[in-house]
Amino acid sequence: MKTDKGKIETIDQVIDVLGHIISDSEKQNEASGYFAALYQKVTIKVKEGIANNYFDDGPRMEKLDVIFALRYIDAYYAWKNNQPVTQSWQCAFDLSSLYQPIVFQHLLIGMNAHINLDLGIAAAEVSKDKDITNLQADFNKINEILSSLVVEVQSNLAEIWPTLKFLLKLSGKVDDFMVDFSMKLARNGAWKFATKMANCKIDEWDKQIEERDMKIAKKANLVSSPGLIASAIFLIIRLGERGSVAKKISRLKYQIKLIS
């Protein structure tokens, strides 16, 4: 696969390209940079895990990480060049052009496309001609890093924007919505989809991806249109998010903390 930044084969190259996306987003004041800022930190965390033997198979995990990241990177550059992308990513990129969504919504809708669609595809890709069950332990570990970010990001964003912290204390329903959306869908659905892909013929993959994409795109509505009460609360939070998009991306780069 190739992107506007050339061929990507290592996790360091992934981190570098994500840095370019973040920088471009800051310069252009584009909300799509929120997810890129988060994702770069996730990738750095995976790199650290590989170096510290956190995963059962480090080289395989790097290969998985690159395949996984390319799903996002290629989608991003396709979108920038007005080329077709999956419905799931189109939902995320469409949201990035709107003023009203809060930062956390932008992060969640990106996670929806990337975890619930892309991660299963990447797992199946790296397991071609192999028993995918051998990947499950490492799959769970990378998914733990990804899904555990939801509470962590929510907490750190609350420190950046106090209005969010105040409102989340008042509304457990919104808090539960955030956790349920990421944890349950990501942990249960992604692996099931990965095994389904791995156990069908290669020439059936496009159909499987298309069907899964349609399903996950519908899940994006949980983020973009979460209901009257949640939307009203998000609007109040949005009014409390001070500064330009570029400034908020910059703050995310330095203030999001990852699990240890």
pTM for the model stands at 0.85
Domains of the chain by residue range: 2-255
Parallel, antiparallel, or unpaired for β 2-3 and 6-7?
A: antiparallel
Q: What does the DSSP 8-state code read for residue 243?
A: S
> What's the average model confidence in pLDDT over 214-224?
86
Beta carbons within 8 Å of 109's beta carbon, 6+ residues apart: 91, 92, 95, 220, 223, 224
Higher pLDDT, 102 or 158: 102
pLDDT at 192 over 50: yes
Higher pLDDT, 166 or 88: 88
pLDDT at 149 over 90: no
